[in-house]
Amino acid sequence: MDEQVMSEKECIELVKSGDSEAYSMIVKKYMKRAYYIAYSFVKSEADALDVSQDAFIRAFRHIKKFKPDCDFFPWFYRILKNLSLDWLRKNKKRDEIPLEDVNIAASPQLNEMLKIELWKGIEKLPLEQREILTLRYFQGLSYREIAAVLEKPLGSVMSSLYYSKKNLRAKMGDFFNEARRN
């Protein structure tokens, strides 16, 4: 079957039946997203690449456990998240994540200061709040996609996102208010 017209579910069925080449379609589809999600946890380019590759390998090894009536990405995300959290526990490394190519304010100096303060604020949040903010604003997932990925009700996702943003504003304090005025 042509890779262009093959659905994700068909591809996964081929992988389950022993066609390991079909898995490359899945990897190509999610490779960039997986890298950035891992990066949001481990905050290192090389480590994010390692963790995301490990997640694809683990997903491949356990593909027979994947339920055909489910979407692949939420299942894969849980594997990726768990490997990222394992990496954090082993390495206890929490550096600042750079916000590259994102312009928040008109002034370049204020923009850089705001990026630094924003990540300082995000880093002060509990892991669950950081995760939901990252999925929504840096990965661009919809509320429904976040609910599927985190296996939470849609209302809980909306509520968690609201409180995450509220908590982030509080952590950023006066700097956030001053930057908004400029």
**Rounded average pLDDT per 10-residue block, the chain, 182 residues:** 68 88 89 89 85 92 87 91 86 49 58 76 85 83 83 86 86 63 56
Q: Where in the chain is the domain with CATH 1.10.1740.10?
A: 8-91
Q: How many Cα atoms within 13 Å fall on the side-chain side of residue 42?
A: 27
Please tell me the total number of residues recorded for the chain in this structure: 182
Pick the CATH number of 8-91 from 1.10.1740.10, 3.40.50.620, 3.40.1190.10, 1.10.10.10: 1.10.1740.10
Task: For the domain made up of 108-181, give the CATH fold.
Answer: Arc Repressor Mutant, subunit A (1.10.10)
d(CA 103, CA 139): 16
Q: Are 104 and 111 in contact (CB under 8 A)?
A: yes
Per-residue pLDDT at 55? 93
Taking each helix axis from N to C terminus, what angle separates 23-42 and 72-91, rounded to the nearest 10 degrees? Answer: 40
Residue with tokens 């994947």: 66
Q: Where in the chain is the domain with CATH 1.10.10.10?
A: 108-181
Per-residue pLDDT at 86? 86
Q: Are 136 and 161 in contact (CB under 8 A)?
A: yes
Q: Are 129 and 52 in contact (CB under 8 A)?
A: no
Per-residue pLDDT at 89? 79
The residue type of 68 is P
- pTM here? 0.59
Helix, strand, or coil (residue 180): helix
